[in-house]
Every structure is written in C-alpha cells, then in structure tokens.
Amino acid sequence: MLWPTALTTALLASVAVSSPSLHLRQQQENVLANLSLADFVAQERTIALQGVLANIGGLNSSLVEGASPGVVVASPSTVNPNYFFTWTRDSALTYIMLIDELIFGNTSLKGTIEDYTSAQAFLQTVTNPSGSLYPAGDGLGEPKFYTNLTRFDGTWGRPQRDGPALRAIAFMNLAPVLFALNETDEFRRIYWPLVTNDLLYTSQYWNQACHDKLILSTRLIRTGYDLWEEVHGNSFFTVAAQHRALVQGALLAEEIGEECEFCQQADQILCLLSNNFWNETGGYITADINVNNVNRSGINADPLLAAITNFDYNATCDSVYQPCNSRILATHKVVVDAFRNLYPINKNATAPKAVLIGRYPEDTYFKGGAWPLCTFAAAELLYDAAAQLNEIGTLSIDEDSLAFFQDLYPDANVSDYTGNELRVITGAMTTYADGFISAVQQYILPNGSISEQINTTSGASYSASKLTWSFASFITASQRRARQYPPSWGAWTDLAHGNLTSSQCESSSYNATGQYLPATGAGAPNITNLTSLCYSEVIFSVNATTSFGTNVFLAGNVSQLGGALDDPEKIILPLNPGNYSSTNPVWYVDIWLEAGEGVEYQYILQQSNGTFRFEGGQLRNLTVGGCGSGNVTRVNDVFNTTMGTNANANASVSA
C-alpha cells in the first residue's frame, strides 16, 4: 500500500538525525525496515520521489523554501553540513531520473522538468569564479550555486567537468519524448542550444593537460575535480560521462539535422577512458589518474556510478564499460570487498552476502560513514548487468571477471554460459543486488528519509539529511529492479566504440570550433552585444605556501576581480590549489579579461579563522594581451609576505 503524498511530505518534513540509542529503539518499531523487500521497495519509491520533489524549488518545494523553480537543492541541511546549494552534477543526475519517470508514465513531472530547463538556461549565463559563458564557456564548469541562481564565491574544488556533460545527457534523454509528440522543432529551438553549449564545453575541456609550453613550464594541469570534489585530475566517472555525452550528441545532431563537429572528440575521450584507468595488479578500475599528492588505493565507488550512468540496455558487454563489462564487475567485487571488514556494521560478511559500502576505504569525511547512494549503485549495477546478459543470451567469463562470478556461482570457470546456466547465474546476480537494497533497508529511518551517510557501528543516519541524491539513487535502482530501462543512447554503435589506433590518440583536448551563446529559447537572458567585445585569456599563478584551512584570493580593479582593492567584501575570485604540492606550492586561476585593458591586482590570504591578510608591497599590474584564444597572458608571482614595504611586486608577464 502506497503512502498518500500529504502524509509522506509531512513525515519527511519532521525527520531528524537519529542518535544511536534512539536509532535502535526506532528500528524495533520501524515498519519500513521490517517489510518484505518487494513491499519496502514499493513504498520507499513513492516516499523517495516525494522527497526529491520536496527538495526542488517550485510548487512541491516543501523543504526548500526560497529556492528558485526547478532548482535542485542538495539537502535542506544548513549546518553540519550546509548543503543548501544547487550542484550542476547532482541536479542533472536527479533530472535524468525524473525524465525516466516521465518516460515510464508519470506525466505530472512535466512542469518541474520545464522549470529545470529554464533554470539551467539562466544558470549557463551566470558569470562565476570558474568563468563565464562567453567567450570560452569556462563558467559552465562551476560546480555549485546558491539556490536563487546566484554565484557562489567561496573556495571550492573547481572546475568540475562532469556537470555540463550530465546536463546535456538529461536534456538529450528528453528528445524522444518530444519527438513522439511531433515536437522536433520545439526541441531544436528550446533544448538544442542548451545542449550545444554543454557539448562544446565537454569537447573543449575533457582533458586540459595543455600543450602550451608556458603552462607546462610550471606544471599547470587544468583538468578538474572528481565527483566527490576532492581529487584534482581525471576522474573515471567524469570521463565516462563526457564520452557518452558526445556520442549521444553526435547521433542526436544527425537525427535532427544539426551540426556537432566537435562531438567527434568522443574518439579521443575513448582513448583516455580505455587505456589509462585499469589497475592490472589490483584487478580493478582506479577512480582517478593524473592526480597530485593523493595517497589512496584508487578503490572507489566512482566506476560503479559511472557504469550505471552510462547503462544502455541494448549494449554488448564489450561496449565501453557497461555494467556487464568484465572489468566493471571485477571492480564491483574489489570495491564491495574493501568494505566487508572495514565497517563493523558489516560483521565481516563474505560474498555473496551484500553489505553497506561507502565512497572509498580511506574516506574520512564525517568520519567516513557508509553511503546509501553508493550501496544502491552497487545494487543497480547488478540489476543492469543481469538484464544485459539475459538480453544478449551469452555470458563470457574471463580472467578479469572470474572471481566476481565464483562468488555467485562457485563452479564458474573461464568459459561461455548460455541457457539454464546463464539464467541461474543472472538470477544469483539479481538476488545479490536485492541484498544491497536490504542492507540499507535495515537502517532506514521510520519515515523513509535517506541521509547522506549511515554510522558504520550503530547504523544511525547522519550527515546531510534528506539528501536528494540518496533519494534519486534509490529510485533508479528501483526502476531497474522493476525492469524499467531508459532509452538507448547509442553505446552499441560504431561511433561509441571508436576507430582510432593508439598512435592517433592525443594527450589533451583542444579549442573546439564553436560559439557559446545564451539559450534564449529556453529562458536564458538575451545578453546584448555579447560578441562585440574582445577578450583574451589570462592565467594568474602565485607561489604561496599555505597550511590546511588557508586559501588564496585575487582582487583587482576590473569587474571580474571584484572591481576594488583592499576590500575583503569584494574579493570574489578564489584561486585553485589543484596543482599545489610541497615542492611546487602554486595556486592559480584561469580567466578571460577584456583584451588590452590595464589591470591592477593583489593577492590575499584567507586565514583558517576567516580573516583576510593582504600581501605587502605595491599593487601588481599587467596589460592584458591581444584578442582571441591564441593570446595567453601568463603571470608568475610570489606572494609578498612583507607587510607595509614598498618593494616592487609587479608580475612577471609573458604572452
């Protein structure tokens, strides 16, 4: 029996994070925790959908008052942690799920999808610390904003390259719905400009390990942060999403008679994806490569989330890292096994007993709890893989996947399986998947709310409450358990498999041919004279040795740098520590300024207590280089720690 909407919303609004003792008492009375799995999934799916909608600005936003229509708030939590922001990645993943729900028959979601469209069209045009829409599109990589669609100027792991790719996927998934309604022209007018901006960004920034000798001379690698916003480098999840977006974009462009020349970068992304992430010794896909000073094993839920995001029911298992791919299944085993003995709550359970898992074994964020969304992903991947194998009709077990399958079917060998044996094995996979759902069910809050984390000893929910991503991940796992699959995006096509030899693979992305323009048909503001101004790229880097909790900002006399000096209230440009190391303590920021203009600027340290310390010496100055992307103005500075001196602190400028 499904809970009425009003009751569900009221219960969600009243939830609080449980203490361990309260949690144990609640579990004894928890109806949801004691239901059969089928009944639990049916009831929780309704609760989770209402939880998602309650966290989105608009008519249903009972938990996030003040959020703009269509804006996904990560969580109503405002303290410990404060998640009352909107993330491009989380929002896109949420709406990918909601668009699937629309496709599966929930037409009531049409309004909130339209609100999301308008909100994202506007958000693409918001200038932010990562940049702007025009001329270089770098602002699209900004990870989060305030819920009223204004910029967030605090320090953060930026840029994050997965958001634009995922947002493009969300809108492209909507295309078949509109095509079925004979609204192809509407899609072309409203959605394609939105998608084009994000695909252009994806093709231009998928791997900025720049060829520019000025950049390489200081080891500046401009890639991005991973989906956990902690590691600067190439994330498997991000690269997989980027590959899918460009393949799907190329196929869709052909279908609607549009051009997407830059979508051909999908082949180059496939080179990076296929040849760099497999850990041969460990037998798993490592989460991040090209990282700086990260002491981790690379065992991470990242590849599991990547595989379910790129799931295509029509794909073969040798398609690019689909759920039934041998290396994905091998990674599933390694990731799950890493948490069996790590979390006391798992009681050292051995396979094929499912357990709670987290993001990665070394996680210390809020003491490193189990993450429901990661545990649901482990289940969803198995539902997906079993569906693909049953559709294909053959399971080919190889050396990579053998250990995974021996957990479920002890007689498994390196061989092909069909018929009844295949059905036995895929049945065991489905049962295993159910176990991950049940693992979370044991510790679900009585009202069905799902927090960010579960305490690994007591089972109490904590960290951000009513996490939108947690709700959404439960729904997508429920969809796959019910054999509801999204439309194919083309993972089975020749385009998705690529045609480059290793000698043709390039090490980095390039400046794609295209122009970033507001998607006015979707609700973006019509910015006048956008293309009449001439801009030039400027890369500021400063050698500034800092300790944990200290950040570096940049202030200047031009609007992009705050427009005023010596005023902490107008310091709006945080620098990026992504390439910082003990031997190369460099902070940097890459922005576009008006060509030829004179700039006065100054660096500022934000102390761990929140106060600001302006560097000493004279103001620095530079003249921005010539017009166009080929002219890069490069400044290499050293933070002036001497206060009140008159030492010359002008930048070292090269172009």
Catalytic residues, which ones? Answer: 226, 229
Residue ranges of E strands in 465-585: 535-543, 551-556, 573-574
As given in the structure block, the two tokens for residue 611 are 């106060």
Burial (CB < 10 A; 0-12, 13-18, 19+), residue 593, is: buried
Helix (H) or strand (E) holding 387: helix 372-392
Which amino acid is residue 178, in one-letter code? Answer: L
Alpha carbon separation from 615 to 388, 524, 551, 599 (Å, rounded):
59, 39, 13, 17
Tokens of 599: 């700039």
The residues with which 540 forms a beta bridge, in sequence order, are 589, 635
Q: Angle CA(639)–CA(641)–CA(642) in degrees, nearest 5?
A: 130
Number of H helices, E strands in the chain: 18, 20
C-alpha to C-alpha distance for 587 and 220, rounded to whole angstroms: 10
Cα–Cα nearest to 537, from 625, 622, 636, 620: 625
Q: Distance (Å, rounded) from C-alpha 174 to C-alpha 168?
A: 10
φ, ψ of residue 224 to 5 degrees: the values are: -175, -175
Query: Rounded to the nearest 5°, which phi and psi values hold at 446?
Result: -55, -30
At residue 385, φ and ψ (nearest 5 deg) are -60, -45
Cα torsion at 354, 356, 362, 364 (round to 10°)?
Answer: 180
Instruction: Give the SS3 label for residue 440.
Output: helix
What does the alpha-carbon distance between residue 229 and residue 144 come to, in Å, rounded to a whole number?
11
Cα→Cα distances 345→341, 349, 407, 440, Å: 9, 10, 21, 11
Query: Is position 228 annotated in a ligand binding site?
Result: no
Buried b (16+ CB within 10 A) or exposed e, 148-179: ebebbbebbbbbbbbbbbbbbbbbbbbbbbbe
What is the C-alpha to C-alpha distance for residues 627 and 173, in angstroms, rounded to an integer?
38
248 contacts: CB under 8 Å, gap ≥ 6: 168, 169, 172, 489, 490
Positions of E strands within 134-244: 144-145, 224-225, 232-235
- How many Å apart are CA 366 and CA 83, to the nearest integer? 14
Residue 87 parent element (H or E)? strand 86-87
Question: Hey, what's the torsion of the CAs at 635, 636, 642, 643, to 10 degrees?
Answer: 20
8 A C-beta contact, residue 128 and residue 142: yes
Quote the DSSP letter at residue 358: -
CA terminus-to-terminus distance, the chain: 68
> With 0-12 CB in 10 A as exposed, 13-18 as middle and 19+ as buried, what is 557?
middle
Both tokens of 95, joined, read 């709406």
**Known binding site for substrate: residues?**
156
**Known binding site: residues?**
156
